[in-house]
Each structure stands twice: as structure tokens, then as C-alpha cells.
Amino acid sequence: MVFDELDKKMRVYEQSLDQVILPETYMVARLDGRGFTKLTKEICKFEAPFDVRFRDMMVHTVLALMDCGFRVVYGFTESDEISLLFVPGDETFGRKVRKYNSTLAGEASAAISLELGRVATFDCRIVPLPNMERVQDYFLWRQEDAHRNSLNSHCYWMLRKEGKSAREATAMLKGQSVSFKNELLFSRGINFEKLPAWQKRGVGLWREQYEKDGFNPLTNEIEKAIRNRVHIEYELPLGQEYADLIADMME
């Protein structure tokens, strides 16, 4: 059989499950670490519940994803999770979901593995969003998830360090209110509201322009030049201020 005929015949099967994100639809990719609880707490023995070293590895991974060929407007990371907001109308890979998922998961897995010095992997899903309001809601949702996870993690690991087993600590916190957990921490001298913002809100990354002195060889003078860089924000705002920040990036 002629190759071109065989290629045409088999492409039908290969592409039978292809999904394409519709034009004019906003796209967010969310990546999650696979088995990262065991990896970070048992194998690598990072400090619980949060470790600056692991935070910086996740930030490094976001930076790698923002520079691997996709048009990413905003990157967000909390715990072992990453969210990427793409430029509206991005046509990379013809907006094929499988290409985004496989490429981003591969790039993230490679980046974090090099940082850790051992194999670690991510999964990835694409989230289509119909309008800017839903985009804002998405990132408000993920920030609230960061807050809830942070509170739970601080309580859980505090109890574990006091000698409670994993089962006992989990049982003590099951079904308890936010106020109960805050009081539990406060009774041990921990004011949750005064903990580092990045632990409660995550870390945001976006590109910005800045002025830099540069030498102009034609005039032999120092002149201001506009450069681009990625800004890393460890103290993200909350609520409407955060929603406005997301909207401003898309203008």
C-alpha cells in the first residue's frame, strides 16, 4: 500500500477523539502533581505543611511553562497545583485539547523533575470558559481553594507534630468549621491571618514592562530602554481586587 494512502486511512483513527476549543473561548490549563503528598512529605521530606524550597520549585515550573511556546498571560500556583491563563484567541496547535494537555504535562513534569533530582509527574486538563466573568470566577475559586487547603494543612500537621496519628488528626478536623480551625491554631500560638500570604493565596506570575538603562552606540549616550520580564507576586490581593487584576491582564 502506498504510504500516503495508509497515512490518510490511519489518521482518521488517530484523530477520532480530537477535541478543539471553540474560537473566542477563553482557555485555562490546570496541572496537578501526581502523588506529590508522598513525594514531598515522605520521599523528599520537605517541611510540613509548607516549604519555601518546594514553593520555589513550583514557581520555577510555572516560569518554564510560560516560556515553552504557549501564549500565557497569567500563571498561578498553590500547593502542587498550577493554573495557566492563555491569550484570548491563542491558536497554538490549532486549539487541540490533547496537544495542550500532553505538551504542558510533559514540560511541567520535566521541569519539576530536574529541580527535584528525581522523577515527578503532572496531569493536565483544559478548562474552557465562556467570558471574562467566568475567568475571574475561576481564579477566585482556586485562590479560595488555596486558603481552605492552607488552613486544613496547618491544623493537620500541627496535630501530627503533637503526636496524633494521620487517622486521629483527620478525624479531629472532619466536619469542623473554619472558626474552629482558626481557634485550634490560635490556642497553640498560631495566628492564621498573620501567616505568609503565599501560603494562603498562592503565587501569581505575569509579564510586565520595565525601564532599563542601555547604551546607544550611535549617540554614545545612556538611554532608557523598555524590556519585558516576568513578575512574581507572593502577596496576591483578595476578592474584587484580585478579580480586577485578572481582567486587567487581558486588556
> Nine-digit cell at 251?
486588556
What is the CATH code of the structural domain delimited by 12-142+196-200?
3.30.70.3000
What is the amino acid identity at position 190? Answer: I
- Residue-wise pLDDT tens digits, 163-205: 999 999 999 999 999 999 999 999 999 999 999 999 999 999 9
Asked whether the predicted pLDDT for residue 214 surpasses 80, the reply is no
List CB contacts of 12: < 8 A, sequence separation 6 or more: none
Indicate the pTM of the whole model: 0.88
Q: What is the mean pLDDT of the chain?
A: 92
- Residue-wise pLDDT tens digits, 224-234: 777 788 999 99
> What is the pLDDT at residue 16?
65
Asked whether the predicted pLDDT for residue 10 surpasses 90, the reply is no
> What is the pLDDT at residue 147?
96
Query: Domain extents for the chain?
Result: 12-142+196-200
- Residue-wise pLDDT tens digits, 58-101: 999 999 999 998 999 999 999 999 999 999 888 889 999 999 99
List CB contacts of 90: < 8 A, sequence separation 6 or more: 27, 70, 71
> Nine-digit cell at 131?
467570558
Question: Measured between alpha carbons, how far is 27 from 24 in angstroms, rounded to an integer?
Answer: 9
46 within 8 A of 153, measured Cβ to Cβ? no
Question: Measured between alpha carbons, how far is 178 from 180 in angstroms, rounded to an integer?
Answer: 5
What is the amino acid identity at position 48? Answer: A
